[in-house]
Amino acid sequence: MRCLLRASRIKGWRRHLDLPGSPDFSWRRERAALFVDGCFWHGCPRCYQTPKSNVEYWIAKIHRNKERDSEVGDALRGKGWKVVRVFECELKEDPEECLRKVSAALEARRPRRQEKEAQECSS
Ligand SMILES: [Zn+2]
């Protein structure tokens, strides 16, 4: 993801700012946070399979993780942050789409800059 962000023109991110859930990447100015979630630990709907042993333990464990994810999301949104979450498999399969999600979140937070660019283009 780091390389991806660098390769695209997405800048200004910080790792693990002091925020709820300690997002993998965050943009303080745009107030946007990105989480790259492990498919197993975060119960990816496409990849997650409960291990064959200790089934109840894992179901409870992953359920708690997902609950925490949504609490973290609520906490961040409550502070006015935009939250983007991608699963590791999405990142592997379609990095472009993940980048689009990130830039869309960032763009949404940059109304003034967009206006300025639009003006520059039209003149
Ligand atoms: Zn997955």
Tokens of 21: 């859930």
Q: What are the sequence ranges of the domains in the chain?
A: 2-122
Q: How far is the CA of 13 from the centre of ligand 1 (A)?
A: 24
Q: How far is the CA of 105 from the centre of ligand 1 (A)?
A: 21
Rounded Cα–Cα distance for residues 21 and 117 (Å): 34
The dotted CATH code for 2-122 is 3.40.960.10
pTM: 0.83
Q: How far is the CA of 95 from the centre of ligand 1 (A)?
A: 13
pLDDT 10s digit of each residue in the chain, 123 long? 778 888 788 888 898 778 999 999 999 999 999 999 999 999 999 999 999 999 999 999 999 999 999 999 999 999 999 999 999 999 999 999 999 999 999 998 876 655 555 555 555
Q: How far is the CA of 94 from the centre of ligand 1 (A)?
A: 12
